[in-house]
């Protein structure tokens, strides 16, 4: 809220933060936004086995007390290290689901992007004068990815994108984390590490109705030359600006370099700021060479929004209904305006 108010006042813009699908995927100081740590049966069997092995067998972990058990494990791990029985660097590994409130689940990208467009359409319906204003989307990491994805699924509602470290290809750990045995993130103490999997339905079980097929991957990929050509045929006037570290492990920089080459070849005004080494780290705007650059959204917009607004000055951004179709394997994904919302139709 503070960032939104700051941006609106400083740059004389309407600043909107969308409460999109599966927004609550990290711990929050506000309880209503806080996901729950819920172990599955395998997780419980693991933690109860650990409890027995470290002489805490009188404790029995279940779905309700899982979080309360962890401090006992942390304390016991510290005692074992102090006794010199294990190396100081060793940690007990635990696993659990991270379940968002409101029945949300990790769809990865599409539903969240649609929510942004529907929020725009609702805003313009209530405040018609906003319709002609340029529409700029931006954010860091997943927020950057969503901004790029919105430009893919509804380019006629996008004038500018400001991105920090967004991925160009879907991060499979966020989609198939359990099946890849790769948590999306973890919490840790000196003696334990808790890997979390945001709750989702996707699976690679081909017999499941939630099977994550190649087509589901392709529609979420920003770096797709065929799709980029389709996007540009609808609207090639979008202004793109991105920051990305060459040392980014979470979002490989080569993909972003290739994406921006495609944008430029298709006629877009596209600028990629590559952060190459420590000489680019100023401690204020760019604070790290890691994923996200430890750059705040406020700093990102303070730097790039004036430049974007200058490029878009005088542009009329008309709200005109449209549709776009992307072939993905043996399916076609069509995003289209239907009244006061945008819908996705999947045709086999």
Total-model pTM: 0.92
- What are the tens digits of pLDDT across the range 187-196? 999 999 999 9
Name the pairing type of β-strands 160-164 and 136-140: parallel
* Phi, psi angle pair for 335, to nearest 5°: -105, 125
Tokens 């700029």 sit at which residue?
136
More confident residue, 30 or 324: 324
Element at 193 (helix H, strand E)? strand 192-198
Q: E strands of 57-191, at which residues?
A: 92-99, 136-140, 160-164, 185-188
- What are the tens digits of pLDDT across the range 193-221? 999 999 999 999 999 999 999 999 999 99
Residue 14: left (phi > 0), alpha (psi -120 to 50), or beta?
beta
- What are the tens digits of pLDDT across the range 80-112? 999 999 999 999 999 999 999 888 999 999 999
How far apart are the C-alpha atoms of 28 and 265, rounded to whole Å? 42
- Domains parsed from the chain with CATH numbers: 2-23+107-169+223-347 (3.40.50.1820), 36-99+175-198 (no CATH)
pLDDT classification of 223: cutoffs 50, 70, 90: very high
The two structure tokens encoding residue 290: 């890691």
């Amino acid at each position: 809220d503070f960032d939104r108010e700051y941006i609106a006042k400083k740059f004389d813009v309407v600043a909107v933060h969308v409460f999109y699908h599966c927004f609550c995927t990290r711990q929050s100081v506000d309880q209503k936004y806080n996901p729950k740590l819920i172990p599955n049966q395998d997780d419980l069997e693991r933690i109860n086995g650990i409890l027995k092995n470290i002489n805490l067998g009188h404790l029995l972990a279940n779905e309700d007390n899982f979080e309360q058990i962890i401090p006992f494990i942390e304390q016991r791990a510290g005692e074992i290290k102090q006794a010199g029985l294990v190396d100081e660097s060793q940690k007990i590994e635990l696993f659990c689901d991270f379940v968002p409130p409101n029945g949300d689940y990790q769809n990865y990208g599409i539903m969240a992007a649609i929510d942004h467009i529907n929020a725009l359409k609702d805003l313009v319906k209530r405040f018609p004068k906003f319709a002609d204003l340029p529409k700029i989307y931006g954010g860091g990491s997943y927020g950057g990815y969503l901004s790029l994805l919105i430009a893919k699924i509804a380019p006629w509602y996008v004038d500018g994108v400001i991105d920090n470290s967004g991925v160009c290809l879907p991060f499979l750990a966020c989609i198939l984390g359990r099946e890849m045995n790769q948590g999306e993130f973890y919490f840790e103490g000196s003696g334990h590490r808790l890997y979390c999997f945001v709750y989702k339905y996707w699976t690679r079980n081909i017999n499941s109705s939630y099977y994550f097929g190649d087509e589901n991957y392709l529609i979420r990929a920003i770096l797709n030359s065929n799709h980029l050509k389709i996007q540009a045929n609808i609207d090639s006037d979008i202004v793109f600006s991105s920051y990305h570290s060459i040392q980014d492990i979470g979002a490989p920089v080569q993909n972003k370099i290739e994406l921006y080459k495609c944008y430029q070849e298709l006629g877009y005004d596209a600028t990629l700021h590559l952060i190459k080494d420590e000489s680019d780290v100023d401690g204020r705007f760019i604070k790290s060479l890691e994923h996200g650059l430890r750059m705040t959204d406020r700093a990102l917009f303070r730097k790039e929004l004036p430049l974007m607004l200058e490029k878009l000055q005088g542009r009329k951004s008309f709200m005109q209904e449209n549709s776009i179709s992307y072939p993905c394997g043996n399916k076609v994904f069509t995003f289209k305006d239907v009244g006061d919302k945008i819908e996705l139709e999947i045709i086999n």
